[in-house]
Structure 1
Amino acid sequence: MDVQQLRCFLAVAEELHFGRAAERLHLTPSPVSRAVKDLERELGAELFVRRYHQVELTANGRALVERVRDILEQLDGLKDVFREASANGNRVVRLGGTHLCPPAVMDRFVALTERRFPARPLDTTIAPSAELLPALERGELDAALVHLPLDRPRLDSLVVARYLFFLVMRSDDPLATASELSLQDLWHRTLTVGPPTPQPLAMNRLHRRLKEAGITSFHQLPDHDAVKLASHIRHSHGVALTLHPRNGGSARVFDDPAFAVVPLRDDLVFLLGVAWRRSRAQQDDVVRELVRAVRQEWSGRTLTL
């Protein structure tokens, strides 16, 4: 039995899907499946019921989850102790930020960290939420700006911003002259969307809400690339969701007379928040102080983007 087997087991237990667990661990499904089978062989018990496109924990698997989670948390905690000791009081503060959030929010997150820790070096990682969350669990990041909600019991979070969506289309589109639009106005149109991979829980919930509103035709792009999205809208006369270009970042590509950006009447819940590992906020002075700074900055003052 080794640590990698335990990490693979816990990832599958939390995702209930070998493919998603592999993505979370930056592996392919084969080594994850092999590690779980090796663990089952060593324990002499099946940990999962495997069905087509469906995985469930057995009673033995459910009994093991919390123990494995505790073991890995303690092992990851050893890294924190070593980092703190080796830093000689000058430990690096490690932040993460989703590459899809408006830059001004990430800048504000970095600025408040610099104000709270003026003497400490700061390291920032920009990546999809789906990569930042496992890094938080492993103790490789102190806090990260990610899309919510979370389905990871070891993490805690605070909402800092709520997205206000707009619809973007070509300026000569029949819908472009509307003062505002509803999702029901798109029942006869194909809505262009991105993949769920950056944060599957948040993105899948958004996609379900769109379907519930009556949209039945979707064109899914392979990634969240604003330039490709703009090109697709130009050439296909498509429609897509966006933030207002004034928020900067990737939405700035639509600050162009070729496009119309129309307010969306419907309230689509999509949240941005700061996340951290709960146990580290209790044991690590830097994380505890960082969480305190985040709460002072945003608690009760959620931004609307």
Structure 2
Amino acid sequence: MEMLHLRYFVAVAEELNFSAAARRLHMAASPLSQRIKDLEHELGQKLFDRSTHHVTLTAAGTALLPIARDVLEQVNSIPWRLREATEPQRSTVFLGMPAGVHPDLRDRVTALAERVRERFELKRWPGASPDLVDAVLDGRLALTLARMPVTDPALEALPAMSERLGAVVPADQFAGRQSVSLAELSGFAYLAAPEDSTPAYFEQLDHQLMSLGIKKRLKLANTGYSGVSEIISSGLAFSISMLDEASPMHLYRLENVAVLPFTDFQPELETNLLWRRDRGDSGDLAELVTAAREIFAEPLTS
């Protein structure tokens, strides 16, 4: 049995969906399914009941899940335990930073770095939330800010900031307006941000908008936030982004783009500070986590 088999099993067990687990593992669903079958054959136990629409754990799968998680956590802890035993007292550690972090939240990261500078050199590392979370789990990052939702029992989360979201619309078609309703946007296509940088929360928003009457969709490939702004400026679609003008996301706005609050919809993007529970409770990051709890004690809002 290889460690990868356990990683594959845990991903499928947590997602209960082979396609979703394959995306999480950055692989195709077909080889993932074959690896699970290989593991079942080696163990002599059926781990999942599969049907066309549902995947559920068998009794054996349910029993294996905590064992597999424990083994993976022990393996993942080897790098930081080794560093703890061999590195000098002042360590360089990295904190993940997703795109568009609000300046007030950046100030708290700076305050944390200053608080712990005698023990840690805290450096920032950019990336998309899923990749940053993976880097925390495998020990490459000490902590990360991440857009919610993120659910993993190996992680501990501290609420850091809640940001109100608004409708990004063509300004000339909403001139003089201070707000907008969903009904007024039903004639526009909804344009999501690029998939490689979109927080998972925006997938939930997409489903909410569909249920609330926004049926048209427009997707862009091989472009970034500036491309989204270009389409909105042309009057072809609307999107959703941070409402606070202090947010770095407003730097992508073109001249004919405005961000308005909704009158009948209250989307909010939550950002948490995450770290591995075993490293923070009594491991090598205990001192850093204690300082982080103090700096981030009161969640920010915007």
TM-score by length of 2: 0.88
CA contact (8 A) 1:196 1:203 kept: no
Cα offset for 1:259?
Answer: 1.9
Contact 1:146/1:275 (CA < 8 Å) preserved in 2? Answer: yes
- Tell me: CA distance 1:195–1:227, structure 2 relative to 1, closer, same or farther (3 Å): closer
What amino acid does structure 1 have at the position aligned with 2:35?
A
Q: Determine the structure 2 residue equivalent to 1:233.
A: 232
Distance 1:199 1:73 in 2: 28
Contact 1:147 1:272 in 2 (8 A): yes
Q: What letter matches 1:45 in structure 2?
A: Q
Match among 277, 295, 298 for residue 297 of structure 1: 295
Matching residue of 2:276: 277
| Matching residue of 1:56 | 56
Q: How far apart in 1 are the matches of 2:81 and 2:52?
A: 43
User: Please, which of 262, 282, 288 is the counterpart of residue 260 of structure 2?
Assistant: 262
The answer as to whether partners of 2:5 and 2:39 remain within 8 angstroms in 1 is: yes
Give the partner amino acid of 2:261.
Answer: P
What letter matches 1:127 in structure 2?
Answer: G
Q: CA deviation at 1:154?
A: 1.4
SS in 2 for 1:247: coil
The whole-number CA distance in structure 2 between the counterparts of 1:224 and 1:278 is: 37
Match of 2:203 in 1: 204
- Structure 1 partner of 2:99: 99
Residue equivalent to 2:218: 219
Q: CA RMSD in A?
A: 2.5
- Equivalent residue, structure 1, for 2:144: 144
Cα distance in 1 for residues equivalent to 2:200 and 2:168? 24
Whole-angstrom CA distance in 2 between matches of 1:183 and 1:290: 44
Partner secondary structure for residue 163 of structure 1: strand
Letter in structure 1 aligned against 2:296: W
1:161-217 deviation digits (Å, cap 9, x = unpaired)? 1111222222221x3332111223323332212366657652332223323433222
Is 1:158 matched up with 2:191? no
Count of residue correspondences: 301
Cα 1:205/1:219, change in 2 over 3 Å: same
Any conservation in 2 of the 1:25–1:134 contact (CA below 8 Å)? no
Are the equivalent residues in 2 in contact too, given 1:24–1:134 (CA < 8 A)?
no
**CA–CA separation in structure 2 for the residues paired with 1:104 and 1:133:** 22
> Aligned partners of 1:33 and 1:304: how far apart in 2?
43
Cα distance in 1 for partners of 2:48, 2:198 equals 25
Q: Tell me if the contact between 1:146 and 1:274 (Cα under 8 Å) persists in the aligned partners.
A: yes
CA distance in 2 between partners of 1:74 and 1:31 (Å): 26
| Within-5 A mapping of 1:101-180 | 101-102=101-102, 105-106=105-106, 108-173=108-173, 175-180=174-179
Partner SS state of residue 164, structure 2: coil
Return the letter of the residue paired with 2:45: A
Q: What is the CA–CA distance in structure 2 between the aligned matches of 1:189 and 1:166, rounded to whole Å?
A: 15
CA distance in 2, matches of 1:148, 1:179: 28
Q: Match for residue 83 of structure 1?
A: 83
Q: Distance in 1 between matches of 2:127 and 2:184?
A: 34
Against the structure 1 CA distance between its residues 153 and 161, is the aligned structure 2 distance closer, same or farther, given a 3 Å change threshold? same
Q: Compare 3-12 and 261-270 and name the one that shifted more.
A: 261-270
Give the 4+ runs in structure 1 shifted more than 4 A: 195-201
Contact map agreement 2:105 2:300 (CA 8 A) in 1:
no
Q: CA deviation at 1:55?
A: 2.4
- Measured after TM superposition, the shift of residue 87 of structure 1 is 1.5
8 Å CA contact retained: 1:49, 1:55:
yes
The one-letter amino acid of 2:225's match is A
Structure 1 counterpart of 2:34, which letter?
Answer: R
Does structure 2 retain, via aligned residues, the 8 Å contact 1:130–1:199?
Answer: no
Shift of 1:88: 2.5
Q: Following the alignment from structure 1 to structure 2, what is the Cα–Cα distance between the partners of residues 201 and 51?
A: 26
Tell me how far apart the structure 1 counterparts of residues 181 and 53 of structure 2 sit (CA, whole Å). Answer: 35
Please say if residues 158 and 274 of structure 2, whose CA atoms lie closer than 8 Å, have aligned partners that are also in contact. yes
Mapped contact 1:24–1:131 kept (Cα < 8 A): no
**TM-score under structure 1 length normalisation:** 0.87
CA contact (8 A) 1:7 1:72 kept: yes
User: Take 2:149 and 2:278, find their aligned partners in 1: how far apart are those partners?
Assistant: 19
State the 1:278 CA deviation: 1.4
